[in-house]
Amino acid sequence: MKLKIHETAARYLLGIIYLFGAVDGILTIFFGMHITGRSNPGSFHAVLQETLYFWSFMKFIELAGALSLLLNYKPALGVALLTPISAVLCLFYVFDLHWYYAFAIVAVLNAVLLRAYWNSYRPMLDAYPMRGPRLDAPARVPAAPVGGVVAE
């Protein structure tokens, strides 16, 4: 699959953003250092940081996704791992911090990569249709045996 220059740039930029977030989270967890500054107590971000098991899990997923994008090793998987985090991050930027430029950057980069790797996700979505059997369809009649005689 040949990617265009804007898709490659989006892969590296999103990888760098999430690698920075993962390194910041690891420094916070293990050394108590805050590169981005301390959060206000009681804020959404501070509550997430205090929930150590979730914070460390999220930072591990960010690290795995960022390395996948930066090293170009299964980048479609990296985008799939980072998309739910990107969605929450975008909501956090818009409704809590009012950082509309950061929202636009993360949303556009993620949308470009989802579009770039859409063919990797298509079989997962096409293989299992979301509808059940039709109730008004006639019952299926079993095929006749090889000899052509149906015993009743």
* Domain span including residue 70: 5-123
**Residue 100 CB partners (closer than 8 Å, separation 6+):** 93, 94
pLDDT of the residue at 128 = 61
Mean pLDDT lowest for which of 12-26, 38-52, 95-109?
Answer: 38-52
- Does any domain span residue 39? yes
102/104 Cα distance (integer angstroms): 5
**What 3-state DSSP class applies to 14?**
helix
- Does any domain span residue 148? no
With contact defined as beta carbons under 8 Å apart, do 37 and 81 qualify? no
- Does any domain span residue 19? yes
What domain count does the chain have?
Answer: 1
| pTM for this predicted structure | 0.75
Report pLDDT digits (tens) over 35-91.
877 777 877 778 888 888 998 999 999 999 999 999 999 999 999 999 999 999 999
